[in-house]
Amino acid sequence: MIAAQTVPTPAGPLTLLAHGGALVGAGFTGDVEEIFTRLSPALRQEGLEVVDDLGAATLAVRAYLDGDLTALDAVPVSQPGTPTRKRLHAALREVKPGTTVSYAELAVRAGLPRTAARAAGSACAQNLIAPFVPCHRVVPSTGGYGGYLYGVAVKEWLLAHESGH
């Protein structure tokens, strides 16, 4: 069974989905189904149950919102992907709060050439567990915020929160 909880945040509702002791989905929406439908068909077959408290993941979100910017790092996550995508997602989790990297920099951090910036962008776009896998910390090298599945305003809020503004 996939357990789901929606937690209120200043950036909007954050829905968390957990299975087998790890987060398998998270995103800034109050629509649990929106996150659930992004999971693999095999995982969706497990079913979905909305719960009042996911425990450690919920506590981590609250600690993050209260200023412990590394609290999300301790929460186990699990998402599908090729070995390259998994390396990119792991590299994302190493980007420190309050900092940003370009897509090319993310590629290099994952052991890929700078020219793999497009693969880094794809890994961000396919990230199922925002902000625990912090794709919001990746910005275009040309400036600006770039895109974000949950809206640029959410990305701006997350980056401002992490930089203390």
Task: Tell how far CA 102 is from the center of its chain.
Answer: 16
Instruction: Give the pLDDT score at 66.
Output: 97
The reply to whether 124 belongs to the active site is: no
Mean pLDDT taken over the chain? 96
Q: Which of 77, 106, 135, 139 is catalytic?
A: 135
Q: Please give the angle made by the CA atoms of 118, 119 and 121, to the nearest 5 degrees.
A: 65
The pTM of the full predicted model, rounded to 2 decimals, is: 0.94
Which residues make beta-bridge pairs with 19?
A: 22
Are 112 and 119 spatial neighbours (Cβ–Cβ below 8 Å)? Answer: yes
CATH 1.10.10.10 residue window(s) in the chain: 83-164
Rounded Cα gap, residues 23 and 133, in angstroms: 10
DSSP helix/strand/coil, 71: helix
pLDDT digits (tens, 9 = 90+) for 45-95: 999 999 999 999 999 999 999 999 999 999 999 999 999 999 999 999 999
Q: Selecting from 2.40.50.140, 2.40.50.100, 3.30.160.70, 2.40.30.170, what CATH number does the domain 2-66 have?
A: 3.30.160.70
